[in-house]
Amino acid sequence: MKSCFLLLILPFFLLCSCNNSSENRDKNPRRDSIPAKIGNALIQVEIADTLELRRLGLMYRKELPHNCGMLFKFDQVSKQSFWMKNTFIPLDIGYIDSSGTLLEIYPMRPLDNRSTESLSDQIAMVLEMNQGWFRENKVSVGSRLFLLNHE
């Protein structure tokens, strides 16, 4: 019975562990995060859905907790291009269409100012996760993203 209780509450603690350290909060304040699922993996994502939040992204942060990421949402589908200005965390970036289908994945190097442009012009969302996360969790092109408990 005790082990069943632990199994039930463990995902809650994992999903609640995406808070930034106080060091990271100074230049990049914590945004609320929501649970999501991509492929078979449960994640917690901060939403960047305004121009200001998309511009700031994960800049100035020193770490990104395991199974946590940032989801950039756009008002219109188009080609997207991302760079790593002032971003210290090695990331993988996933370009996603309006149906939630992952179309492209690219590695991103810290502080690299070169742009990584999507091949598709149908990008509605972009998911940034720790580098290697997609591979480690067997999330590949064609996987679907679902936001959970979100209006």
87-134 confidence digits (pLDDT tens): 999 999 999 999 999 999 999 999 999 999 999 999 999 999 999 999
d(CA 100, CA 56): 23
- What does pLDDT average to over the chain? 86
Residue 10 has pLDDT above 70, yes or no: no
User: Which residue would you say has higher pLDDT here, 118 or 10?
Assistant: 118
Q: What angle do CA 47, 51, 55 make, to 5 degrees?
A: 80
Residue 59 predicted with pLDDT over 90: yes
The whole-model pTM stands at 0.82
Asked if residues 89 and 112 have their Cβ atoms less than 8 Å apart, the reply is no
Q: What is the pLDDT of residue 32?
A: 78
Report the amino acid identity of residue 138. K
Can you tell me whether residue 4 is helix, strand or coil?
Answer: helix
Q: Which are the contacts of 35, defined by CB distance < 8 A and separation ≥ 6?
A: 15, 42, 43, 44, 147, 148, 149
Average pLDDT over residues 50-77: 96
> What domains lie within the chain, and their CATH numbers?
2-147 (2.60.120.1140)
The number of beta carbons lying within 10 Å of the beta carbon of residue 118 is 21
Position 17 confidence tier, pLDDT thresholds 50, 70, 90: low
Q: Per DSSP, what are the bridge partners of residue 37?
A: 42, 146
Mean pLDDT of the 3-16 span: 42
